[in-house]
Chains A and B, each alone.
Chain A
Amino acid sequence: MRHITLSQAVNEAIAEEMRRDLTTFLIGEDVAEAGTPFKVLAGLVEEFGPERVIDTPIAEPGFMGIAVGAALTGSRPIVDLMFGDFLYLIMDQLCNQAAKAYYMSGGKLNVPLVLRTNLGATRRSAAQHSQSLHALVAHIPGLKVAMPSSAYEAKGLMKTAIRDNNPVVILEDKLMYNDKAPVPEEEYLIPFGEAHVKRAGTDITLIATSSMVQVCEAAAETLAAEGISAEVIDPRTLVPLDEATLIESAKKTSRVIVVDEGHQSYGITGEIAGRINEKAFYHLDAPVLRMGAMDVPVPFSPALEDITVPTPEGVTENARKLMSGEMIHAA
């Protein structure tokens, strides 16, 4: 099978869907000739023209609101938000308008819209261009949230997102744009709400999102050499969440670590750990561990930034402690 980058995968998914459905269009800052700073959208304006690949002024709430209005009236916009950190700028349009329209109208108005943005630290971009804010949107009823962990997921989830009749936030890890993975030539879609068991195991479950899947796969490799069999599961979508697959794995292995790049407090790791505690409590041999990003603004200095996010070494060490029965308490 051919290998393509995550960036190419996203580009292909959008191009295929824009060919398939003429009501789709791309809108955002520097999406046309520039193809975004990450060049993910390069070439699309040449194929679809400036009417469907629309460069906007630097006005995130404005173009987000415009996309909501277009979606409410029969278009299917794909909104490009250059950095996930800018979610704070568009919260009213996303959370008060897009997320609630279907419910508030009693099912009469819906908002088929994709908001594609990114997450991920360790790019030396400091506190306002490095955040992983998916927990903010996953908290809001009415928004679906997808987090691809490789080029394969990036393509399949994007295609599903564009065809979904609801607002979908899809967050790509900006450090993974050049990572290659096998991606079939033929068309495929990845359904929402279906977790993927990346690596089967029997001793401990590592539930990981986005780039943390790579981190956990590396940890699993090290653990395997030590005789510990780790299962790595990627939920792929946070909303809807495939709780059944996660619970089933927790019951099987009896030990779980949840790894995510969002801040640890009040985040995804706590949510998933809570569900496992509620539904697999009597099967557990150890407390479910959370590993998120540190609860600090992302620092600029590489010496500091690198210690704020979970690493393969950190996951490996925590897995060993869980396996040895060592009780772990938060500092």
Chain B
Amino acid sequence: MADTKTNTEDFMRMYRQMVRIRVFEDNANQLYLSAKMPGLTHMYSGEEAVAVGICEALTDDDRITSTHRGHGHCVAKGADYKQMFCELLGKEEGYCRGKGGSMHIADQSHGNLGANAIVGGSMGIATGSALRAKLQGSDDVTVCFFGDGATAQGLLYEVMNMAALWQLPVIYACENNGYSEYTKTEEIAAGSITARAEAFGIEAFTVDGQDVLAVNDLSQKLVARARKGEGPFFVELMTYRYHGHHVGDINRDYYREKEEEAIWKEQRDPIVNFGKWLSEEGIASAEDLKAMEDEIRAEAKAAVDYALSAKYPDESEVDMHVFAPTDPATLRPGA
């Protein structure tokens, strides 16, 4: 574990947030398996240290863009279980009134500009948010989450070029979970991933994405530097996806061996390993951590029950929110 000077409260909050993500995903998976959830979803389980290590270095004024595998980013940025489960189930009280679903949850109150169902689709948005910060003299930082698979999209190279030319406060966070949907990353990515950013003169780092303190330590430094105008930065976080590409991707022997999954789960789990460290350091006992998890599981169950019985949006909402209103008063001459 990295040597990070921080306090007990921070450690416990990071642990709590990682457990909150894992528990959220366990429940989402169950909703899918029991056919209570419309559509499908993509599990973040196994990658918790990435979202939490980064988002714990951010404030609510800092923005993130998220991906189709976005529940972890959403929880880590401060979202509420109840509104998230309602959104997953297409209910009126969801973050997006049920119009977005799992792949489009946005929570602008915490700076989450939204998950994106186009792989690599949010790279421009994150870079634009950083351009806005620079133009308006704001010191907020934007983190662009994307997977290793998205490094194959051309958009990344167009926007990294501009971010570097204009020194924008954006951090490109590449979650390398080893798989581009149903294909090993080594089969889709030639050469080095960090070298892609370095070609633009962007400082690039590789970090163990299963070590929340290592991720957080690096993130704190980069966020502080980005605030001072030293960005952009690129980070490749080495991590692992416990589930398939999506919840329905269950028989995946043809592209990934069960033995490999077992090694990551048994030896590299970010929550288990951080929990052990907390106990060894005398910060929290195993019982404390178990009690915390039980409390979170109870909260999740209550949120799921609430969402299951919550009401769907009224049919009259179907053509609402196509266009944002524009105050007619602003369209008058002299306004």
Residues of A at the B interface (CB closer than 8 Å) are: 23, 25, 51-52, 56-57, 59, 61-75, 77, 92-93, 96-97, 101-110, 112, 141-142, 144, 160, 163-166, 186-189, 191
Contacts and interface: CB of A to CB of B under 8 A. Distances in A.
Contact of B124 (A65, A103, A163): A65
Contact of B135 (A52, A93, A165): A52
Interface residues on B, range: 35 or more
B321 interface: yes
Contact of A105 (B100, B127, B142, B155): B100
A29 to B, nearest CB: 12
Contacts of A52: 135
7 contacts: A57-B161, A65-B155, A67-B128, A73-B133, A74-B136, A93-B121, A102-B323
Given A97-B121, A106-B94, A187 B333 contact: yes
B282 interface: no
Interface in B150-204: 154-155, 158-159, 161-162, 165
A107 B319 CA distance: 11
Nearest to B99: A106
A62 B124 contact: yes
B108 A105 contact: yes
Contacts of A163: 326, 330-331, 335
Interface string B303-335: 000000000000000001111111000111111
Contact of B104 (A73, A93, A105, A186): A105
A318 to B, nearest CB: 35
B322 to A, nearest CB: 5
A72 B129 CA distance: 7
Contacts of B246: none
B263 interface: no
A51 B104 CA distance: 32
A109 B112 CA distance: 10
B124 A189 contact: no
Contacts, number: 164
B163 to A, nearest CB: 9
Given A102-B324, A105-B104, A163-B326, A56 B162 contact: yes
A108 B110 CA distance: 12
Interface centre among B118, B131, B333, B334 (most CB of A within 10 A): B131
B191 to A, nearest CB: 21
A57 B155 CA distance: 13
A112 B162 CA distance: 22
A59 B155 CA distance: 9
A106 B100 contact: yes
Interface centre among B94, B136, B324 (most CB of A within 10 A): B324
Contact of B326 (A68, A97, A165): A165
Contacts of B330: 163
Contacts of B162: 56-57, 59, 62-63, 66
Given A68-B124, A72-B125, A92-B118, A191 B94 contact: no
A189 B99 contact: no
B106 A107 contact: no
A164 B326 contact: yes
Contact of B132 (A70, A105, A166): A70
Given A69-B127, A70-B132, A61 B326 contact: no
B331 A189 contact: yes
B97 interface: yes
A66 B63 contact: no
Contacts of A23: 136
Contacts of A188: 333
A279 to B, nearest CB: 19
A112 B330 CA distance: 14
Contacts of A141: 322
Contact of A69 (B129, B158, B165): B129
Nearest to A71: B128
Given A67-B128, A104-B104, 20 more contacts: A25-B135, A51-B135, A52-B135, A66-B162, A69-B131, A70-B129, A72-B125, A73-B63, A73-B113, A96-B118, A102-B324, A104-B99, A105-B100, A106-B95, A106-B97, A106-B99, A107-B97, A107-B321, A109-B108, A189-B331
B331 A110 contact: no
Contacts of A74: 132, 136
B214 interface: no
Nearest to A61: B155
Contact of A59 (B136, B161, B331): B161
Contacts of B124: 61-62, 64-69, 93, 97
Interface centre among A63, A71, A186 (most CB of B within 10 A): A63
B229 to A, nearest CB: 14
A105 B114 CA distance: 8
Contact of A103 (B63, B129, B321): B321
A72 B322 CA distance: 15
Nearest to A60: B158
Nearest to B92: A106
Contacts of A97: 116, 118, 121-122, 124-125
B316 to A, nearest CB: 14
B324 A66 contact: no
B113 A66 contact: no
A315 to B, nearest CB: 33
A235 B321 CA distance: 24
Nearest to B101: A104
Given A72-B113, A105-B108, A65 B96 contact: no
Nearest to A63: B162
B275 interface: no
Nearest to A110: B324
Contacts of A92: 118, 121
Contacts of A68: 124-125, 128
Contact of A73 (B123, B132, B334): B132
